[in-house]
Chains A and B, each alone.
Chain A
Amino acid sequence: MGFTPLLKAFVAAIIGGFGSIAGALLGGYLLGALEVFIVAFLPSEVSPYRDAIVFGLLIAFLLFRPNGLLSPNREVKL
């Protein structure tokens, strides 16, 4: 119990930018809006895959903008 919200919070923090409070706020709102939009506007066959889309987005962020939206894009160190 409570594990999925924790993971979602982590996703929001990474999307917004780790270590930035404004980024966490922005990431949280974006993530929430995205989930609602998936359910509201996409065909109903897609909505069960909501979590998969969210975590796919997380992986995309980690790969292409590991510092999140609100911090400068630095070189990824291996």
Chain B
Amino acid sequence: MSRPASLLLALTGLALVALATLALPRLVNDYLVRIVIVMCINAVLVASLSIGNGFTGVFSLGHVGFVAVGAYVSGILSLSPAAKHAYLPELPHWLATLSLPFLPSTLAAGLACVVLALLVGAPLMRLSGYFVSVATLGFLIIVNVVLINATDFTRGARTFTSVPLETTLPWAVGWLVVTLTVLARMVYSPVGRRYLACREDTIAAQAIGLDVLPIRLSAFVLGAFFAGVGGSLYGHYLGSFSPASFYMAYTFALVSMLVIGGMQSLTGAVAGVVLVTLASEILRNLERGFDIGAFSVPPLYGASQIVLGTIFILVMIFRPSGLMGDRELTLGLLTKQRRNQPEG
């Protein structure tokens, strides 16, 4: 496709997304709008997880650590001075008087995660296989312990509250579009092919002159930036959260969405989020009991978890590389085909 045509197509797509975003709150009720917001936030997080875990082959379990850092950094920055005085009286003076709007605090959260990812990733990206998973899990635990104990900044294990509720549907959709655009541009570029080369065969990648460490580190840092952004969105969506909100349960939720959707595809990341969220919402409503004709099913609380787990197992048996595998759903043409064509 020629450049103006693809640009036109992209603009049309953006316009459609914008239209849908504006129309949705008028068409459906508040509950569904909130589900869509959560889906968008989770899609940002899972897509940013896929760039490290799926495309670069560094299976990190510490992604939620960055989400937590993002939520807390942006929360501290955007809390009003009065709320800071009430809840965080021990803050240093320059922080106590500072109160940033939503966008700057979100960007600051992303940048804080970039700095942290550079520090943590520089040593950890030397590891491979399950070693890197365990080490990043250690990072998650360290973040959790520090958040619980840095009471001057985070209120410790108590709930960090009265963060302004800023994450509306346009913000969430907007950040999702930005995330997917940036990640797709990265992954389907020469840089992205280096990621794939490092994943497929590290030794062969080194043999053709690729330096594995900086390549892995760049993917890790890029993922961490969007994790921080997603954390900020999540924090400003919930309004109050605690270190326990960003721990093992959330890690495994995100990882299972990624694995169900397909680790090597951005479409798969989004599909996994949509599928898991919808399935768990539908099952949660069915759990309260329902009627089929003359039969009535009694409420079975907790059954939705069992059904969800069974669905995950079935998906893994019949589609071991996730629903999408390594295929992408693009505007009318599959990226696989485009890859085989000469550049031009």
Contacts and interface: CB of A to CB of B under 8 A. Distances in A.
What is the interface residue range for chain B against chain A?
Answer: 20 to 34
A17 interface: no
Given A48-B149, A56-B142, A63 B127 contact: yes
Nearest to A45: B149
Contact of A58 (B128, B134, B212): B134
Contacts, number: 53
B138 interface: yes
Contacts of A66: 127, 131
Contacts of A51: 141-142, 145
Interface string B133-163: 0110111011001101100000000000000
Contacts of A76: 126-127
B123 interface: yes
Nearest to B138: A55
Interface string A39-75: 0000000001101100110110011001000000000
Question: Interface majority SS on A: helix, strand, loop or mixed?
Answer: helix
B124 interface: yes
A10 B145 CA distance: 18
B134 A52 contact: no
Nearest to A55: B138
A24 interface: no
A49 B123 CA distance: 21
A36 interface: no
A49 B127 contact: no
A14 B127 CA distance: 14
Nearest to B129: A77
A10 B131 CA distance: 11
A78 interface: yes
A56 B206 CA distance: 29
A10 B138 CA distance: 11
Interface in A14-35: 14
A5 B343 CA distance: 54
B202 interface: yes
A44 to B, nearest CB: 12
A78 B128 contact: yes
A48 B142 CA distance: 11
B141 to A, nearest CB: 5
Contacts of B138: 55-56, 58-59
A66 B126 CA distance: 11
A58 B206 contact: no
A63 B126 CA distance: 8
B128 to A, nearest CB: 6
A10 B128 contact: no
B128 A52 contact: no
A62 B135 contact: yes
B206 A78 contact: yes
B131 A7 contact: no
13 contacts: A7-B141, A48-B148, A49-B146, A55-B141, A55-B142, A63-B127, A66-B127, A66-B131, A76-B126, A76-B127, A77-B128, A78-B128, A78-B212
Given A48-B149, A63-B123, 8 more contacts: A48-B145, A52-B145, A52-B146, A55-B142, A59-B124, A63-B127, A66-B131, A76-B127
Interface of B: 123-124, 126-128, 131, 134-135, 137-139, 141-142, 145-146, 148-149, 202-203, 206, 212, 248
Interface of A: 3, 7, 10, 14, 48-49, 51-52, 55-56, 58-59, 62-63, 66, 76-78
